[in-house]
Amino acid sequence: MTLAWLWIQLIASTAIILLAATHLTRAVEIVAKKTGLGRSFVGVLMLATATSLPEMGTGASSVLLDEPDIAIGAVFGSNLFNLVIIVFLDIAWRRGAILGAVSQTSTLVAWLGVGVISLGSVAVMLPHYTGFGAGWSIAPMSMLILGFFVVSMWAIYKSDLPMAPAADRGSDDHDMSLRRASWTYATAALVVIGASIWLAHTGDGLVERAGLQASFVGTLFLALCTSLPEVATSFAALRMGAPDLAVTNVLGSNLFNMGFVVVLNDGFLTRGSIWSEVSRVHAFTGAVGVLMTLLVVYGLRQRGPTRRFGTVECVGLLLLYIISSIVVYRAG
């Protein structure tokens, strides 16, 4: 298979993911409206979960293709790119710095993200230095991460801090029944998973044909593609005038990526723990993710008059992403 054909497949699979994500967002909005569940909980549980389906599909497929580095790299790299989305949201938001415009709902999700990414970084390093959990089908650290994720979802649910209401998007949305919205959600989710598996096969082909290192492809290349649903849904929320939903979607996706997707990847690798077979560079990527999330927490705590864009935290997010990309590339 030629390199050009692989690139064509990459573009096609990415476009399908992006289109399906639009239908997912619409369905999730209707489910939230019809059920009356807390918007923070629905935003993280359904919207962030839906937009993280590419990472889930890509990760599972990559593990089955015996490319665990791509699977873990896609998750850690997606975390970084998701946080960079906030920079572009800040530029697009015309009412001041976006992190100063959202409620403290996002702060809880951000702190939980710091915790779960930190656990993921420790999980990468432990087998390399101690051998802890290397022979387990599912590593103890993976079980700890999953437990942290479950507690995090309970905390978000109990906080019950509402997001901004969805904008009126026409009678078609309001007339859609809960059953129809659920079917739309399920169908679009299946399309995203299928396109993600295709994307993983394409990434594996690019590794072989272009001579790229698997950690680099997973962390930067596939992570960029699989984060496109977060881009689409976050900017859609911004157009609705709902910065809370936009920011919480990004942060919630990171929480789901680290708390559930990496554990699922570990389960798919039946010969032992996935953490013992991946590059230590992912621990560095995780540390950068923690620093970037702490910058977001700093921005969320700022109140009062702020510049329209170019805040210290957003500049820091962009610089950290560029530096980490260079380091991961050179490490390969």
pLDDT in tens, 209-257: 666 555 565 556 666 666 777 887 788 778 777 788 788 889 999 999 9
Q: Which residues touch 10 (CB under 8 Å, ≥6 apart)?
A: 199, 202, 203, 206, 225
What is the pLDDT at residue 166? Answer: 44
What is the pLDDT at residue 296? Answer: 93
* CB neighbour burial string for 118-127, b if at least 16 within 10 angstroms, e if fewer: bbbbebbbbb
Give the predicted TM-score (pTM) of the model: 0.80
What is the pLDDT at residue 317? Answer: 94
* Low-confidence spans in the chain with pLDDT less than 70: 1, 38-40, 131-135, 160-176, 200, 203-204, 207-226, 303-310, 332
Instruction: Name the average pLDDT for the chain.
Output: 80
What is the pLDDT at residue 221? Answer: 65
DSSP output for 120-170:
HHHHHHHHHHT-TTTT-SS-HHHHHHHHHHHHHHHHHHHH-PPPPPPPP--
CB 163 within 8 Å of CB 298: no
Cα separation, 30 vs 27, whole angstroms: 5
Cα separation, 167 vs 170, whole angstroms: 9
CB 110 within 8 Å of CB 296: yes
Helices H / strands E in the chain, number of each: 16, 0
What is the pLDDT at residue 152? Answer: 93
What is the pLDDT at residue 175? Answer: 57
The residue ranges of every structural domain in the chain are: 3-331
Q: Which residues touch 330 (CB under 8 Å, ≥6 apart)?
A: none
In the chain, the amino acid numbered 249 is: N
What is the pLDDT at residue 85? Answer: 93
Cα separation, 200 vs 184, whole angstroms: 24
**Sign of CA pseudo-dihedral 211, 217, 222, 227:** negative
pLDDT in tens, 58-94: 778 778 888 888 788 888 988 998 999 999 998 888 7
* CATH class (in words) of the domain with range 3-331: mainly alpha
